[in-house]
């Protein structure tokens, strides 16, 4: 991304000095763009910080995220907390967008190509602890997990097909995108399961995105911090457990090693906060059906590009290939480890 695409850095420097009492901000460096957000490394003479931009523009959405961070942290879940400004706020508004400032963490993150058993067990246990705590919060203060709607999918897929045609004429579109979208459309058209068919209770405050990218680890590969609760919401913990397994453990394939990793994660989760087989199977099916209705990945892959997005899309496409699988044997294979 070019400098012309980022915020007015001088104005942002002035605001940071005003809100956080910095004598000066020596440097603002774009770290990466993620999910339509710009994130910066902020340097002062004495310390470095991480400035995160939020997708949500409403104060209600941002407040839910900040409340969840504080709540989990107060209940001994290792959540990264933001630096509060001179008004004791955990977030502030700039250029009609919300930001939070965090201490810059100089710690390791898991290697996506080599997620160890130690890390997966640690993440499974931390997620179980988070869910156990999340079942105690006042749930009516948070938005509910959005599932899927066939009419909304059809509405969006028409627009996406138009964009695909335009991109195909200009620069071509990878065949994987067409194959994956076709499988989604066929599945959604034939799917007989609606969100109302699931009996899972919406009785837990969820992290929202408990994946390896949102963790820091120590030298022993144990999780020492979780972050990015922007998608926190109330929903079934079985859904989030299933999502975490399918993303963290089945990103690189669908073989013996991936099932071993899934069992390692799930065993650690079950040890802390057991879940029934029926709940787990419903959670897997719920996540996979929602995945079929999601078109965000196609749009991101088409217009943002980059090797990281390409890798994420290939992992997404791999999961979509298994949409019509019989999920009971899959779930049994993992559940027996618990």
- Provide the residue range defining the domain that includes 246: 117-335
Structure tokens given for 65: 């995220």
- Say yes or no: 202 and 235 in one domain: yes
Does 25 map to a domain? yes
β-strand pairing of 223-226 with 37-43: unpaired
- Say yes or no: 148 and 241 in one domain: yes
Residue pair 148/290 in contact by the 8 Å Cβ criterion = yes
- Say yes or no: 209 and 99 in one domain: no
Instruction: Indicate the pTM of the whole model.
Output: 0.94
**pLDDT surpassing 60 at residue 318:** yes
Rg (CA), the chain: 21
CA-wise closest residue to 301 among 292, 291, 293, 311: 311
Neighbour order of strands in the sheet with 37-43 = 27-34, 37-43, 48-53, 97-103, 92-94
The residue written with tokens 């590969």 in the block is 221
Does 139 map to a domain? yes
Strands, DSSP E only, in the chain?
A: 27-34, 37-43, 48-53, 92-94, 97-103, 204-206, 215-217, 223-226, 233-235
CATH for 54: 3.30.200.20
Of 135-139, 170-174, 269-273, give the lowest mean pLDDT range: 170-174
- Say yes or no: 150 and 299 in one domain: yes
Does 108 map to a domain? no
- Say yes or no: 261 and 140 in one domain: yes
Structure tokens given for 304: 């943002």
Between CA 274 and CA 112, with CA 147 as vertex, the angle to 5 degrees is: 65
- Say yes or no: 29 and 157 in one domain: no
pLDDT at 32: 67
- Say yes or no: 44 and 141 in one domain: no
- Say yes or no: 88 and 145 in one domain: no
Does 109 map to a domain? no
Structure tokens given for 198: 């699931």
Residue pair 320/290 in contact by the 8 Å Cβ criterion = no
Q: Is 48 helix (H, G, I), strand (E, B) or coil?
A: strand
pLDDT at 338: 65
Name the domain count of the chain: 2
Q: How many residues does the chain have?
A: 338
CATH for 283: 3.90.1200.10
**pLDDT surpassing 90 at residue 258:** yes
For 162-179, b where at least 16 C-beta lie within 10 A, e where not — what string? Answer: eebeeeeeeeebeeebee
| Spatial distance between the Cα atoms of 303 and 137, rounded to a whole number of angstroms | 39
Does 111 map to a domain? no
**Residue 6 pLDDT level (bands cut at 50, 70, 90):** low
- Say yes or no: 92 and 137 in one domain: no
pLDDT at 254: 95
- Say yes or no: 259 and 303 in one domain: yes
Between CA 215 and CA 184, with CA 306 as vertex, the angle to 5 degrees is: 85
| Spatial distance between the Cα atoms of 204 and 183, rounded to a whole number of angstroms | 32
**Residue 197 pLDDT level (bands cut at 50, 70, 90):** very high
- Say yes or no: 55 and 162 in one domain: no
First-to-last alpha carbon distance for the chain, in angstroms, is 45
**pLDDT surpassing 60 at residue 3:** no
- Say yes or no: 64 and 127 in one domain: no
Considering the chain, what is the average pLDDT of its residues? 92
Does 112 map to a domain? no
**pLDDT surpassing 90 at residue 37:** no
């Amino acid at each position: 991304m070019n400098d012309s695409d980022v915020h007015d850095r001088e104005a942002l420097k002035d605001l940071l000095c005003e809100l956080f009492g910095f004598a000066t901000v020596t440097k603002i460096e774009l770290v990466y763009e993620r999910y339509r957000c710009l994130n910066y490394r902020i340097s002062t003479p004495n310390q470095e910080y991480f400035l995160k931009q939020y997708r949500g523009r409403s104060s209600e959405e941002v407040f839910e995220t900040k409340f969840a961070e504080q709540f989990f942290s107060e209940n001994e879940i290792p959540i990264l907390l933001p630096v509060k400004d001179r008004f004791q706020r955990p977030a502030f508004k700039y250029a009609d967008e919300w930001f939070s400032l965090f201490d810059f963490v100089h710690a390791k993150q898991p290697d996506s190509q080599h997620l160890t058993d130690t890390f997966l067990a640690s993440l499974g246990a931390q997620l179980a602890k988070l869910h156990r705590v999340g079942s105690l919060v006042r749930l009516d203060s948070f938005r509910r997990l959005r599932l899927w709607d066939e009419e909304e999918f059809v509405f969006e897929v028409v627009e996406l097909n138009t964009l695909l045609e335009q991109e195909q004429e200009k620069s071509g579109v990878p065949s994987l995108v067409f194959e994956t979208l076709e499988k989604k459309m066929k599945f959604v058209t034939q799917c007989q399961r609606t969100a109302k068919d699931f009996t899972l209770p919406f009785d837990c405050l969820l992290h929202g995105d408990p994946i390896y990218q949102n963790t820091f680890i120590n030298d022993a590969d144990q999780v020492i911090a979780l972050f990015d609760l922007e998608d926190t919401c109330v929903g079934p913990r079985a859904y989030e457990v299933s999502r975490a397994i399918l993303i963290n453990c089945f990103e690189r394939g669908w073989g013996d090693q991936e099932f071993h990793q899934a069992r390692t994660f799930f065993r650690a989760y079950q040890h802390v906060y057991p879940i029934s087989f029926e709940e787990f199977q419903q959670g897997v099916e719920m996540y996979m059906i929602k995945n079929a209705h999601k078109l965000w990945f196609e749009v991101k892959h088409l217009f943002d590009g980059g090797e990281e997005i390409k890798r994420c899309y290939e992992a997404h496409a791999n999961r979509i290939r298994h949409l019509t699988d019989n999920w009971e044997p899959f779930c049994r294979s993992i559940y027996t480890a618990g």
